[in-house]
Amino acid sequence: MIRYAYSGKGFEPFEPAIGKYDREFLVSLLWSMMRIRMVQEEMERRYREDEMKTPIHLVIGQEATSVGCCAALERKDQVFSGHRTNGNYLAKGGDLKAMMSELYCRANGCVASRGGSMHLLDKEAGYAGSSGIVAGSLPIATGAALAARMLKQDWATMVFFGDAATEEGTLWESLNYAALRELPVIYVCENNFFSVCSPLEARQPKVEIYEKAASFGLHSVQVDGTNVLEVYETARSAVERARSGKGPTFIESLAYRWRGHGGAGDDSDTGYRDPAEVEHWKQYCPIEGFYNFLAKRGQIDEPGRNALVKQIQNEVLKAFEHAISSPVPEESDLFKHVYSD
């Protein structure tokens, strides 16, 4: 079985008018996806050394959702995530070195080694936090959007979560409240069809997730989460809606997770999904697809791509070296940052 959306419609071809974008912007989208992928691949390789004392949830295959959505935001806008944080954090401009230090439990980690990969934070970049509790960030993000309204601030809030979050009551309560109050919030469901090893069809009746959300009275759409420009254009109009007081948007972005639920490597050999399905989805690699799209239109060529690879490789290796050579926290600091005044 090959999973698409329940409607079985597959992905509509999406051909944006490329002339409206400048080359620099298009290449920045490609760079951002490549950077996330290369960070993930290096993390996966090093995870096997057992020095990174944190659970990890890789986003390989799902990069276009983070990058397309965050490209529509400004720095002042606030982003929240669930447990699969890395793509969202990096796409929003979160500090890579601070993230790697966090994963290696170093004192200079982005939350001072208290959180690990599931609990990242970069206030400067507008990455407002994440939660390992499925759907846990939904009410917090909804509250942040309410705060923006009450404080008369013009930031938009965006929250990322997986398809399993749509099995939690708190998600529907959040949508209900945001729709009622027309809050400036964008809900992004990264539907990769699985909750750990349970496929969507074993967990939910066959109604598309974005249609359920629409029934709460919010603007709700489904996008091809392997197509960064389609995601970007959808997110941009959602941000415009939020900023102009037109209320929340729900975006269901369909993309496949190429690796196992957690840790390094693919876990398909445990039998919960067909390895042929994983291979099938690799045809829709968001990075290869976008590179080919740009190359065909003369926006980048092979030497251009190689230069990006080199630059990213260099940055990634430096970030790992920085983390590994940083000090671990002092025992005497154990209770720091635990309580707030």
Ligand X SMILES: Cc1ncc(C[n+]2csc(CCOP(=O)(O)OP(=O)(O)O)c2C)c(N)n1
Footprint of ligand X on this chain (CB under 6 A)?
83-84, 132-134, 162-165, 190, 192, 194-196, 261
Q: How far is the CB of 164 from ligand X (least distance, A)?
A: 3
CB closer to ligand X, 168 vs 233: 168
Structural Rg of the chain based on CA atoms: 19
**For residue 97, which of 109, 87, 79, 80 has the smallest C-alpha distance?**
109
Overall size of the chain counted in residues: 341
CB of 167 to ligand X, least distance (A): 8
Which of residues 137 and 299 has its CB atom nearest to ligand X in the complex?
Answer: 137
- Per-residue burial over 6-20, b if 16 or more Cβ lie within 10 Å, else e, is eeeeebeeeeeeeee
By beta-carbon proximity to ligand X, the closer residue of 247 and 260 is 260
Residue 194 or 284: the one with the smaller Cβ distance to ligand X is: 194
The least distance separating ligand X from the CB of residue 321, rounded to whole angstroms, comes to 29
Residue 334 Cβ, how far from ligand X at the closest point, in Å? Answer: 25
- Under the phi-then-psi rule, with left for phi > 0, alpha for psi from -120 to 50, and beta for the rest, what region is 181? alpha
- Chain residue whose CB lies nearest ligand X: 162
CB 109 within 8 A of CB 102: yes
Residue number, 132 or 289, with CB nearest to ligand X: 132
Q: Closest Cα partner for 142 from 186, 89, 104, 102?
A: 186
Q: Residue 119 Cβ, how far from ligand X at the closest point, in Å?
A: 12
User: Rounded to an integer, what distance in angstroms lies between the CA atom of residue 223 and that of residue 64?
Assistant: 11
CA distance 265 to 109: 25
